[in-house]
Amino acid sequence: MQHFTTTIPTMKELEQWMFRKMQEMFADAMRTVLGKLDELLLEQRDRQRYRVKAERETSVNTVFGNIRFKRRLYMDRETGKHVYLLDQHLRFEGRGKVSPHLLETAISFAAEGPSYRDSARRLEQLLGYAVLSHEGIRGKLIERAERPQKVMEKRPARVLFVEADGLYTKLQRRKRKGMEHAIAVVHEGWEQVGKRVRLRNKQHYLHRGKGEFWEGFGDFLAERYEIDEDTWLIVNGDGAGWIGECESYFHRCIYTLDRFHVARDLKRFVGHLPNVWKAARLALARQDPAALLKAVERVPIEAIAPERQEEWTAYQSFLRRHREHLEDYRKRLEANGIDTTGMRPMGSAEAQMRVLAKRTKRGGYSWSERGSRAMLETIMRRKQTGWKEEDGEHIGEPPQRVVSVRKLLNDTIRPAKGYVDGMIRLLRSQWQSRPTGMALKGLRGF
């Protein structure tokens, strides 16, 4: 090795350089594909309906970089409107300046946190150029969150499980310091995935503040499930008044008190009394309200910290009022002839809220009302199933011969498979022979 002197870029520099070159090459391939698709639509369009008016150029930011391409503008004789057939069939607004895939990536970064600015920086670092400003990402996220969503076909449902809770967020530049968002997570039960258990077909509902919560939630259910008077709802909540009203809105509804919140409150009062705290925990685990109340009521008031004695008395009354809501809901279902195999105790409300709170409450952020709702809606849609996102309007059926698009794409992209050989040739062209070895020139500082 002492007879050779080799000057080559670092691994980081080489990776960056090749990534940029691949972006350029695939941007050319993307431009070619779009042009051929536009030509195909020109040939196969309904000539009686669509008349060519002009050919216009546009540009769009993609994961490959900025791409400029031309597509044809048509006059729709039936509607009298001017349309871009390529945009319609791609379900993409050509003047949007950001491709749907890149926009989805930006929104995903923003929803994961910690901020819109961080999302903009991560995109620029990944792609090598500034794509959207943090305000641009915020605007796109709000626009997407407020867009009506297409729901998949209704699902049959005999028993639905609902976790309801409120999430408090701070407000900026408002007389009110904050607002509470009423949220419900509905699912169809539990399923085993490896060693973990997850909620099956989970859906989220965020109340928009128009009318009563359970009225809006009832409409939400009716859009997604085949529910009737025989459908059972099992609602789990922390004892808030608005959650307990569920029983007056639905014909067959069982309200259960969330055991996590009960345990947390009891520990605050009697955590310093080991025997009482152990008895209370065991009673909660067995869902035995009689044993729980017995353990609670035998605590002398003198054993409670003086500053909490009044609050403790009120909490004892609270537990007595909710005695029936501490019972195992499965007993009541079985009494009504419903098989409860695979059903588990309720209590995932706090875990669901923790996912939402991670983005909206940590970091000391304050929000506008519109912005907080949009962020929560975005996070929930990313976590749930059963939604279908429409990226744009798709008017009419595609021409029959457009089914050959897959072959067109393969024929266009196939040369890209030879780009690696081109890369090697390009690298070799940077090398210069020397008596003492080889030197790679022109790659540093790109």
Of 172, 206, 204, 158, the closest CA to residue 185 belongs to 204
Mean pLDDT of the chain: 82
Going by pLDDT thresholds of 50, 70 and 90, the confidence category of residue 324 is: very high
Q: Answer yes or no: is pLDDT of 335 > 60.
A: yes
List Cα–Cα distances, 99 to 61, 64, 112, 404, in angstroms.
6, 10, 20, 23
Q: Which residues of 334-360 are buried (b: 16+ CB within 10 A; e: fewer)?
A: eeeeeeeeebeebbbbeebbeebeebb
pTM above 0.75, yes or no: yes
CA dihedral 369, 370, 371, 373 (to 10 degrees): 80
Q: What is the pLDDT averaged over residues 220-231? A: 90
Tokens of 101: 């895939």
Q: Is 296 helix (H, G, I), strand (E, B) or coil?
A: helix
Tokens of 368: 């506008």
Going by pLDDT thresholds of 50, 70 and 90, the confidence category of residue 187 is: very high
Say if residues 177 and 170 touch (Cβ distance below 8 Å). yes
CA 249 and chain centroid, separation: 29
pLDDT digits over 384-399, tens only? Answer: 754 445 544 444 444 4
Residue whose pair of structure tokens reads 């690696």 in the numeric block: 420
pLDDT at 444: 39
pLDDT at 366: 85
How far is it, in rounded angstroms, from Cα 43 to Cα 107? 37
Query: Which region among 149-163, 371-385, 418-432 has the lowest average model confidence (pLDDT)?
Result: 418-432
pLDDT digits over 64-119, tens only? Answer: 888 888 999 999 999 889 999 988 888 887 766 888 888 888 998 898 888 899 98
Domain ranges across the chain: 12-147+390-411, 151-257+378-388, 259-345
Sign of CA dihedral 280, 282, 287, 290: negative
How far is it, in rounded angstroms, from Cα 40 to Cα 51? 15
pLDDT at 96: 64
Element containing residue 254 per DSSP (H, E) = strand 253-257
Say if residues 233 and 245 touch (Cβ distance below 8 Å). no
